[in-house]
A and B are shown apart, each in its own frame.
Chain A
Amino acid sequence: MPLPVFTKNHLNYMKKVSINPSSNTPKVIFDPSNNIFEISGESRPYDVPSFYQPLLAWLDEFNKELSEMKAGSGSLEFKFNLEYFNSLSAKYILDLCKKLSKIHSDGHEINVIWQYETGDEYMLESGQEMSKISKMPFNYEEIKA
């Protein structure tokens, strides 16, 4: 269980993101108070841009808040645990990684964990590509089915 990074006074007013999964959209939790950032499940939404754009905007706002906080934040932990994503979702997942890379290069510690199922070479390679293009180092975790 990751340690909470922010005290109640910090960033608490940033609205937590919590999206329940559906058959074609992933579960999303962006919860700064508890240092839980996770996208998991399946991603092939009806309208891919409309699903991801608010998340991208949220991360921009979050980065701004982090930068305005004079006290250093602890290390953020961001977890991708995707079972499947379609080709257009890949583009937006990469955009998320680029935002994380920006947060990282702005001086905030961030640990990106990319989980993949044993034998799912495609998911592992996708993570490696996302990491390379976004210039954001990932830690890879193999998960047994």
Chain B
Amino acid sequence: MSDFEVILEYSGNVTFALIDRMLDKLIEVPAFKKIRRNIQKKLYGIFVECIENIYKNTGNGLDYFSKDKKPSYIRVGKQNGKFFISSGNIIANKRIKSLKNRIDMINDLDHEGLKSAYADILGKETLTVEEGAGLGLITIALRSGNKIKYNFTHLDDRHSYYEMKIDVPNATSGFY
């Protein structure tokens, strides 16, 4: 039997102001406050990268994305003893190929490989939008110590729905 607990969930448009409000909310949720501090920090960091991804992918809540059919979402929860963060948002089809390649590449790397990819992007003079997105994904992989699960669902000629899920183990070691 699987246990499933939602710690925080949001569905709708993501604006910059909303990110602040969601973070304020997250740290006040009793179920979050009970979590060990080092896991809290991991979840907080991954939550920011995921919600900023939604914000960037959906252009600060453009009209198309505010349609009721497929609103963006972000969820922090616990399942089978592991914490997770999942998110979903509409994305332009033309971005899927490079994004998919990037996640696959990141998922193939071990911790040292991720650190080296992180250093490569960070050391560049300027970052393209895609490199910026890549840096966010590498950060998620480094913070979680896990693979990024993803899925794309075709919506129409121009858009798909992009979902991510990241598990964060509730390690028994650590300082807290």
Taking Cβ atoms with an 8 Å cutoff, the residues of A that contact B are: 23-24, 44, 46, 84, 86-88, 90-91, 94, 117-122, 125, 129, 132-133, 145
Contact = CB atoms under 8 A, between A and B. Distances in A.
B94 interface: no
B175 A122 contact: no
Given A91-B124, A94-B122, 16 more contacts: A44-B48, A84-B45, A86-B49, A87-B138, A90-B122, A90-B135, A91-B127, A117-B41, A119-B37, A119-B174, A120-B41, A122-B42, A122-B45, A129-B119, A132-B119, A133-B119
Nearest to A98: B123
A91 B135 contact: yes
B52 interface: yes
Contacts of A122: 41-42, 45, 142-143
A24 to B, nearest CB: 6
Interface of B: 16, 19-20, 23-24, 37-38, 41-42, 44-45, 48-49, 52, 115, 118-119, 121-124, 127, 132, 135-136, 138-139, 142-143, 174-176
Contacts of B16: 46
B115 A87 contact: no
B127 A118 contact: no
Contacts of A90: 122, 135, 139
Given A84-B41, A84-B44, A125-B115, A24 B143 contact: no
Contact of A88 (B19, B118, B119, B135): B135
Given A24-B20, A121-B38, A87 B136 contact: yes
A133 B44 contact: no
Contacts of B136: 86-88
Contacts of B20: 23-24
A91 B127 CA distance: 9
A119 B175 contact: yes
27 contacts: A23-B23, A84-B48, A86-B49, A86-B139, A87-B49, A87-B132, A87-B138, A88-B127, A88-B132, A88-B135, A90-B122, A90-B135, A91-B121, A91-B135, A117-B37, A121-B38, A122-B41, A122-B42, A122-B45, A122-B142, A125-B142, A129-B115, A129-B118, A129-B122, A133-B122, A133-B123, A145-B37
